[in-house]
Structure 1
Amino acid sequence: MLDVKRLRVLREVAAQGSFSGAAESLAYTQSAISQQIAALEREAGTKLVERSARAVRLTEAGEALVGHADAILARLQAAERDLEAIAGLRGGRVRVVAFPSAGASLMPMAVAAFRERHPGVELILEPREPDEALVALKAGEADVAVTLEAGFAPIEDEAIETVHLLDDPMFVALPGDHPMAAKARLRLEDLQGEAWIQGTSRATCPDTRIFLRTCAACGFEPRMAFQSDDYAAIQGFIAAGVGVALIPDLALTTPRDDIAIRTLVGVAPRRRVLAATLAGSARGPATQAMVAILEEVGRGWQASRHDLQLAS
């Protein structure tokens, strides 16, 4: 009989294209990966992987087995969910991945609420960028992914179900002594001549995609001064006068005193924050409970920040 753990190793070798990549992904040694594959080949009675100095390639048998492995592992996860449902919320596990600014703002409240209500359930939280979070969800590495819909690019994947948590507005951040800082509200086109600081990747950073599409809608192409994916660092660069930036509300839990945060009017970009789960099968009670708590936290966050903006 084939060992399920070794099937998971084979699937990861196929996904990563190398033993070293699979070892890093699974937190194994490369030697352990090699041993697991060799043992699986003995169980299967045939060669599954062609090894070379630079990479590995699955044989025809290996390809076929990986196809079955996906289905087998999915059924095992479904069985675990069924057992979790029978046990209720007295035990079990829920794995959540969340993008960094949500991890620093929404998730502490969600984790505290979940542990207070369901102390018997193991809760695992890992940081993942929005696109990576969806990959982890589909790979069976997470039960809930807190991710982003960039507004211009809704998530269209039949394998994924989403629940809207909140809309996250983006504000413009300027040096405290900037001439425009005297205004409470600004239009993005008023700042088209500025040097901008934004994320490093147009392809993988939703915030950068939102920023560039919004600038295009306002009729200009921004002049980039510096790139960083760390919003705390971006605040530091703004304070030093390197440039200005758009920063989402979830990343402004600790704004610096030496920068000015101003509301945008007219074309005002925002991010849609979502909780994503796999579609097509009943969610276990722990997963359902976490999604419900995330909805509560999202509503509370949005209401409190709205009240704060009205007061200011």
Structure 2
Amino acid sequence: MLDPVRLFTLCEVAEQGSITAAAAALGYTTSAVSQQIGKLENEAGQPLVERHARGVVLTEAGHSLVRHTKRILVELEAAEAELAEIRGLRAGVLSIGTFPTAGSSLLPLVVKEFKTRHPGVEVKVVSGRFAQLVDSLRRRETELSLLWDYEWNRVDDPTLTYHHLMNDPTVLLLSARHRLADRDSIRITELRDESWVVRADDHPAAKTLEKLCQQGGFMPRTSVFAHDYGEVQAMVGVELGVAIAPRLAVLNLRPDVRSIPLATRSPQRRILVAHLAERRLSPAAQEAIAVCAAAARPLAESFEAT
């Protein structure tokens, strides 16, 4: 294996035309440079320079090594320039994980602002369920991920670091023609006799509804199992039942659906941005965390005001 430092020393000798001049340029002694060239010739298995009274001349093998080494130096300079661009957020890639309701509400605000500030950084988004998002972080497929939890099921993974962005309250969804549709708030006990549109597949919203109804002293009667919040709204709109949803999930309401706060304390999920605790974050990821917090702030304030 050819020693890179000795190769760079050979380049300097070729540039300066003598071992003495190369030593002065490099800040070494003439003896040290001569020893480096001798060791490199041993590694190469043949002479690389011919010594003359006025300096040195490269052999054919010496010219070959200098030519290849200069190519390496060009690549190293390019690498340094690219690192500077990444450090200055003028290049690079940022991969973010998200879950659907954040991906259709909070994350677009984050991506828009981030790309306005740093158009040279490519943003990649991966959407999935909670376990998939955490797995993507561990596999380093994503650097950051939006996550959520409820107070009865807090995430507590020591391998992750969490930043709390905002609280997302639970709201009631009723048809615009429902008898309570004009109310400013509704108690859960007033919906005891209603049919419910419930999220299917053990979705967290189903657990939230169960806890709410238990507080009201009844069990919900299910009329529809829906697979996304668009379907939930559609079924509520045609009066197949009432429903609950996180506020972020229903920022864009259908005209035939009303979103009404609960009169009692609403279950809230925390919206978090997470990353591997052991991972040293890129400048882009550090900036994205700040952008996430800034984008979440007005949403949180508007939720608290209603």
Distance (Å, rounded) in 2 between the aligned partners of 1:214 and 1:279:
34
Q: Name stretches of at least 5 consecutive residues in structure 2 with no aligned partner.
A: 1-82
Please report how far the alpha carbon of residue 139 of structure 1 lies from its aligned counterpart in structure 2 after TM superposition: 2.3
**In structure 2, do the counterparts of structure 1 residues 287 and 124 end up closer, same or farther at CA, with 3 Å as the change threshold?**
same
Secondary structure of the residue that 2:270 maps to in structure 1?
strand
Distance (Å, rounded) in 1 between the aligned partners of 2:289 and 2:93:
14
Please report how far the alpha carbon of residue 209 of structure 1 lies from its aligned counterpart in structure 2 after TM superposition: 2.2
Q: How many residues align?
A: 224
| Residue of structure 2 equivalent to 1:228 | 226
| Residue of structure 1 equivalent to 2:259 | 261
Q: Contact (CA 8 Å) 1:91, 1:122: kept in 2 or not?
A: yes
**Residue 168 of structure 2 aligns to which amino acid in structure 1?**
D
Distance (Å, rounded) in 2 between the aligned partners of 1:265 and 1:304:
17
**Residue 181 of structure 2 aligns to which amino acid in structure 1?**
A
Please report how far the alpha carbon of residue 273 of structure 1 lies from its aligned counterpart in structure 2 after TM superposition: 0.7
Distance (Å, rounded) in 2 between the aligned partners of 1:279 and 1:84:
25
Please report how far the alpha carbon of residue 149 of structure 1 lies from its aligned counterpart in structure 2 after TM superposition: 0.7
Equivalent in 279, 290, 293 of residue 292 of structure 1: 290
**Deviates most, 174-183 or 237-246:** 174-183
**Residue 102 of structure 1 aligns to which amino acid in structure 2?**
A
Larger radius of gyration, structure 1 or 2?
2
**In structure 2, do the counterparts of structure 1 residues 172 and 279 end up closer, same or farther at CA, with 3 Å as the change threshold?**
same
Q: Contact (CA 8 Å) 2:86, 2:92: kept in 1 or not?
A: no
Q: Contact (CA 8 Å) 1:84, 1:285: kept in 2 or not?
A: no
Secondary structure of the residue that 2:97 maps to in structure 1?
strand
**Residue 128 of structure 2 aligns to which amino acid in structure 1?**
R
Secondary structure of the residue that 1:196 maps to in structure 2?
strand
Distance (Å, rounded) in 1 between the aligned partners of 2:166 and 2:84:
29
Q: Contact (CA 8 Å) 2:169, 2:303: kept in 1 or not?
A: no
Structure-1-length-normalised TM-score: 0.67
| Consecutive aligned runs of 4 or more in structure 1 exceeding 4 Å deviation | 83-86
| Residue of structure 2 equivalent to 1:176 | 176
Q: Name stretches of at least 5 consecutive residues in structure 1 with no aligned partner.
A: 1-82
Please report how far the alpha carbon of residue 86 of structure 1 lies from its aligned counterpart in structure 2 after TM superposition: 7.0
| Residue of structure 2 equivalent to 1:210 | 208
**Residue 275 of structure 1 aligns to which amino acid in structure 2?**
V
Please report how far the alpha carbon of residue 231 of structure 1 lies from its aligned counterpart in structure 2 after TM superposition: 1.0
Secondary structure of the residue that 1:300 maps to in structure 2?
helix
Please report how far the alpha carbon of residue 254 of structure 1 lies from its aligned counterpart in structure 2 after TM superposition: 1.6
Q: Contact (CA 8 Å) 2:176, 2:256: kept in 1 or not?
A: yes
**Residue 263 of structure 2 aligns to which amino acid in structure 1?**
V
| Residue of structure 2 equivalent to 1:280 | 278
Distance (Å, rounded) in 2 between the aligned partners of 1:244 and 1:86:
50
Aligned-residue CA RMSD (Å): 1.9
Please report how far the alpha carbon of residue 265 of structure 1 lies from its aligned counterpart in structure 2 after TM superposition: 1.6
Please report how far the alpha carbon of residue 264 of structure 1 lies from its aligned counterpart in structure 2 after TM superposition: 0.2
**Residue 245 of structure 1 aligns to which amino acid in structure 2?**
A
CA deviations on 1:146-204 (whole Å, 9 max, x unpaired) are: 111122101010111111111111111112222222322111122122111121122xx
| Residue of structure 1 equivalent to 2:158 | 158
| Residue of structure 2 equivalent to 1:92 | 92
Please report how far the alpha carbon of residue 115 of structure 1 lies from its aligned counterpart in structure 2 after TM superposition: 0.7
Distance (Å, rounded) in 1 between the aligned partners of 2:84 and 2:286:
12
| Residue of structure 2 equivalent to 1:110 | 110
Secondary structure of the residue that 2:105 maps to in structure 1?
helix
- Identical aligned residues as a percent: 29
**In structure 2, do the counterparts of structure 1 residues 85 and 291 end up closer, same or farther at CA, with 3 Å as the change threshold?**
farther
